[in-house]
């Protein structure tokens, strides 16, 4: 894992060398990387536990007043409580573990980056990331039981862009213009301008934030899920998350580009990388994704948060 995540210069280009050195410096300097609250760290651990109970979630959510308030707000706004919701446990019972996990991760991740003064359009950024998180979970559950790691991988997939935009603003402008001119994705342009892309930076950030290694790998390979770099897969599962995030990212980009048009359900077959496990499981592929529903829910998730 360390080899895959270490960032090194792949060419003799001196501009690349200085950018990569700077990125490595930033990654070493803990104050440049946001930290999760204690509650968020515990929630990440709970997400990896298949049989996590409402009681365990109640305990962790109660540790963080902001998170607790948000859970109560969402539970009340769902509107099916017969009487006012009085405590966290009641809220969690109403909302359910999966939804609580999503709220908790969204609040924790947005909170961790709230003090970060990048000149990013945060609304757009988090809309994209929350939508990808929801779609990643939606895609993954066609193939297996989801644990919460899928949502978190989607939520964090583009987190490296925060570093690129904040510390390399001039290069970032060139990336935007170049990607439009050359009709390629940002990661390819970043690689040619900076010598490193947001997927590499994001994965290294996740590593320093002690996020689960499977999530680090999904972030690292979300633009190249079929990369031979992670083809050696001891448990036959390491490419799964990256492939789901990659497909979710493409669906979300399509939605954002066609925002003014009505959003129709899409078939996963259009987005699954060729040669991936998805192509061998046609039944799951033919099921359409209800993008309209996920867009509306994403807007609801972010209401009042930004």
Tell me the sheet residues that pair with 257: none
Does residue number 190 form part of the binding site for Fe ion (CB under 5 A)?
no
Site string for Fe ion, 246-285 (x = CB under 5 A): ---x------------------------------------
Q: How far is the CB of 302 from Fe ion (least distance, A)?
A: 16
Q: How far is the CB of 223 from Fe ion (least distance, A)?
A: 6
Strands (E), the chain: 266-267, 288-289
Name the one range near Fe ion by CB under 5 A: 1-9, 68-76, 154-162, 188-196: 154-162
Kindly report the three-state secondary structure assignment for every residue of 243-276.
HHHHHHHHHHHHHHHCCCCCCCCEEHHHCCCCCC
CA–CA distance, 193 with 27 (Å, rounded to integer): 19
Question: Of 64 and 138, which has the nearer Cβ to Fe ion?
Answer: 138
Question: Of 137 and 158, which has the nearer Cβ to Fe ion?
Answer: 158
Q: How far is the CB of 174 from Fe ion (least distance, A)?
A: 17
Name the one range near Fe ion by CB under 5 A: 72-80, 227-235, 243-251, 265-273: 243-251
Q: How far is the CB of 220 from Fe ion (least distance, A)?
A: 11
Question: Of 88 and 187, which has the nearer Cβ to Fe ion?
Answer: 187
Three-state DSSP class for 232?
coil
DSSP state of 278: G
Q: What crossing angle do the helices spanning 149-156 and 122-140 adopt, rounded to 10°?
A: 150
CA–CA distance, 16 with 182 (Å, rounded to integer): 20
Does residue number 137 form part of the binding site for Fe ion (CB under 5 A)?
no
Nearby residues of 271 by Cβ (< 8 Å), 6 or more positions away:
246, 247, 250, 251
Burial class (CB in 10 A: 0-12, 13-18, 19+), 56: middle
Question: Of 158 and 301, which has the nearer Cβ to Fe ion?
Answer: 158
Question: Of 150 and 158, which has the nearer Cβ to Fe ion?
Answer: 158
- In 3D, which of 267, 257, 199, 261 has the Cα closest to residue 229? 199
Q: How far is the CB of 200 from Fe ion (least distance, A)?
A: 11
Q: How far is the CB of 64 from Fe ion (least distance, A)?
A: 27
Question: Of 15 and 256, which has the nearer Cβ to Fe ion?
Answer: 256
Name the one range near Fe ion by CB under 5 A: 80-88, 93-101, 151-159, 283-291: 151-159
The residues in 25-84 that bind Fe ion, with binding defined as CB under 5 A, are none
Does residue number 158 form part of the binding site for Fe ion (CB under 5 A)?
yes
Q: Residue 289: what are its φ and ψ, rounded to 5°?
A: -95, 130
Name the one range near Fe ion by CB under 5 A: 33-41, 139-147, 156-164, 212-220: 156-164
Taking a C-beta distance cutoff of 8 angstroms, is the pair 155, 302 a contact?
no
CA–CA distance, 166 with 151 (Å, rounded to integer): 25
Residues in contact with Fe ion by the rule CB under 5 A: 158, 249
């Amino acid at each position: 894992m360390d080899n895959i995540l270490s960032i090194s210069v792949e060419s003799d280009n001196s501009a690349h060398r200085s950018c990569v050195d700077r990125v490595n410096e930033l990654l070493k300097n803990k104050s440049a990387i946001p930290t999760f609250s204690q509650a968020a760290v515990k929630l990440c651990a709970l997400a990896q536990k298949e049989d996590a109970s409402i009681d365990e979630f109640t305990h962790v959510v109660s540790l963080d007043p902001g998170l607790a308030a948000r859970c109560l707000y969402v539970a009340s706004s769902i509107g099916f409580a017969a009487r006012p919701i009085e405590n966290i446990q009641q809220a969690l019972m109403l909302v359910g573990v999966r939804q609580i996990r999503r709220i908790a991760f969204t609040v924790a991740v947005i909170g961790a980056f709230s003090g970060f003064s990048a000149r990013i359009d945060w609304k757009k950024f988090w809309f994209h990331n929350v939508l990808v998180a929801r779609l990643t979970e939606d895609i993954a559950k066609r193939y297996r039981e989801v644990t919460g790691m899928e949502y978190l991988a989607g939520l964090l997939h583009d987190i490296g862009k925060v570093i690129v935009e904040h510390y390399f603003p001039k290069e970032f402008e060139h990336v935007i213009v170049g990607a439009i001119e050359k009709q390629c994705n940002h990661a390819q342009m970043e690689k040619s301008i900076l010598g490193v892309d947001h997927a590499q930076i994001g994965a290294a950030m996740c590593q320093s934030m002690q996020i689960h290694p499977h999530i680090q790998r999904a972030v690292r390979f979300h633009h190249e899920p079929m990369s031979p770099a992670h083809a050696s897969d001891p448990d036959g599962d390491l490419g799964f998350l990256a492939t789901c995030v990659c497909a979710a990212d493409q669906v979300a980009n399509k939605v954002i580009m066609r925002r003014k048009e009505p959003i129709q359900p899409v078939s996963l077959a259009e987005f699954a990388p060729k040669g991936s496990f998805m192509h061998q499981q046609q039944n799951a592929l033919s099921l359409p994704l209800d993008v309209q529903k996920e867009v509306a829910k994403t807007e609801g998730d972010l209401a009042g948060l930004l």
